[in-house]
Amino acid sequence: MNFQSNRAAGTASRHLTGALFCAYLLLIVIEYLGLSAQLPLLKLTRFPTLLAYGLVAATMVLGGWRVAVGSAQGRLLLLFLVFTGSTVLWALVRTHVATDLRAHIDYMGLFASTAFLLDRHARVRALAVVVSLMVIVLVAANIDNLISEVRAGAFRAGYFLADGNDFGWGLVVLLPFPLYLALQRSLLLRPLGAMAGAAALAGIVGTGSRGATLAVAAAGLYYWLAVSRRKALGAVALVVVAAAVLLLAPGSYVDRMRTIGDYEEDSSAQGRLRAWKAAVSMAVDHPLGVGAGNFNSAYGRFYLPAEHGWGMRRWISAHSVYFKVLGEYGFPGLLLLAVIIWTCLRDNRRVLRWQAGGQGLDTWPAMVNMGVVGYSVAGLFLGGVAYPHLYILSGLTVSCRRLAEGVTETETAPAPTAILAPQSHPRERIPVASIAARRTTTATKAA
C-alpha cells in the first residue's frame, strides 16, 4: 500500500514539475523575444510577471531552494545579491541600487528554476529545441537591422538584447544550444541545430559587434582545445567557418573587425579606456564601490576627464562587466564575479572528466562551458551586469552536475556525432553526493 502511494506521489510530482517546466520554457520565450513590449495585452495583464513569480514560488516550494543554496554557484550568487542590496548604505544614488537589486532578485529565481527543473536529459533537449527555434525567430525578426550597412541601435527583442552589441552577446551565450542539437544523431534535431547555429553566427556577424566576434572565436577555440577528440577535423571545421564568415560578411563588418587593434584611433575604444580608467579610480577611492547601478552617475559627476567638460560623454557606460563591477562593487565584488565564473568552468570540466564516454550528456557540460567562455570574453567589452546570462549559465552548470550524479536508468542520453565529440577522460571523484547515493543504492539492492 505504501509502495503504491509513494509511486502515485512520485508520478504526481513528475507531472507537476513537467507543468512547471513548460511554464519555464514559456517565460524564456517571452523574455528573450521581448513579447511584453510587442503584445500590449501581456503588459496590461502583467502576465509575464505573474508567470515568473508563480514559477519561482512553486519551484521553491517543491525544493528548488535546496538545490539553489546547496550549490557553490547558488551560494555565490546569493552573496552577490546580498552585496548588491548592501551597497544602498553607501551608494551615490540609492534608487539605482533598488533598480539593480530587483533585476538580480528576478534572475536569482530564474537560476533556481533552471537548476531545479532541468533534471533529466529530455528536458535539456527540449530547452535546446526551444532556444534554437527562438534564435531563428530573433534573427529573422531583426533581419533588416542585421543586413543594414549602418549599425542599428534598436533590436526587436528583450531589453537585454535590444542593443546591437547586447544582441550579439546574447546570441553567443545561446549558441551552445543549437550546437548541442547539431551533435545529436536524430535526423530531426541535427538539421534544426545546424540551421539555428548558422542563424546565430549570421546574427553575430550582422551586429558588427567586435566583442561578440571575439567571444564566439574564444568559445570555439575552447571547445577545440579542451574537448574535441579529433583535433585535425575540428581545426578544419573552424577554418571553414571562419573563411565562410569572411567571404559572406558585408564589407562594413570586415572593416570594423580590422579596427580591433587600432584602439588609439578608434573613438569607441578610447571611450572604453576612459571608462575603465574611471572604474579603477572609483575602486581606489571607494574600495566597496560607488553602489550598484551608480557607475554612470559617479563617472559624470566626479570622474569625467576635464578636457571633455559637459559633452555627450558625461554619462558614458562602463562597457565592461568587470570594470562596471569594479567601480560599483569595488575589489570584493570583482573577486566574487571572477569566482562565480571560475566555479562554473571548474564544475563543468569535472563533470566532463567524471562522465563515462559515449553519452550525449558528455557534450552538454562542454557546451555550457562554451557559453561561459563566450560570456566572459564578451563581458570584457559589454557592461550588462544585471542581465540573465550568468544566472542561466550558472543554473545550467548546477543542472549538469545533478544529471551526472543522478542519471536515471530509464533514460539514456543519445550519443553525439564524432567530429567534435568530447574526448574521453578517466573518472574523477567529484560528486561526493553521487558516490554516497550509489553506495545506498547498492546496499538496498543487496538487501
Q: pLDDT tens-digit profile of 306-347?
A: 665 555 555 678 889 999 999 999 999 999 999 999 999 999
**Average pLDDT rounded to a whole number, residues 216-231:** 80
- pLDDT score at 178: 96
Rounded to whole angstroms, the Cα distance separating 245 from 242 reads 5
From the list 170, 157, 135, 162, the residue with the least C-alpha distance to 35 is 157
- pLDDT score at 148: 80
Give me Rg for the CA atoms of the chain.
22
3-state class (DSSP) for residue 329: helix
Give the rounded distance of the alpha carbon of 241 from its chain centre: 23
From the list 355, 353, 352, the residue with the least C-alpha distance to 369 is 352
> How many Cβ atoms from other residues are within 10 Å of residue 153's Cβ?
10
- pLDDT score at 414: 45
Rounded to whole angstroms, the Cα distance separating 364 from 200 reads 18
Flag the least confident range among 48-62, 289-303, 339-353, 394-408.
394-408
Q: pLDDT tens-digit profile of 5-20?
A: 445 445 556 778 999 9
- % the chain with pLDDT above 70: 74
| H or E element at residue 369 | helix 363-378
Total residue length of the chain: 447
Mean pLDDT rounded to a whole number for the chain = 83
Grid-cell match 527562438, residue found: 134
**Average pLDDT rounded to a whole number, residues 72-77:** 97
From the list 204, 35, 218, 187, the residue with the least C-alpha distance to 135 is 204
Rounded to whole angstroms, the Cα distance separating 126 from 367 reads 15
Which cell numbers in the block locate residue 36?
511584453
Q: pLDDT tens-digit profile of 15-63?
A: 789 999 999 999 999 999 999 988 989 989 999 999 999 999 999 999 9
3-state class (DSSP) for residue 40: helix
Give the rounded distance of the alpha carbon of 332 from its chain centre: 22
Position 253 confidence tier, pLDDT thresholds 50, 70, 90: low
- Give the chain's end-to-end CA distance (angstroms, integer): 20
Rounded to whole angstroms, the Cα distance separating 63 from 116 reads 8
Which cell numbers in the block locate residue 13?
510530482
pTM of the model: 0.86
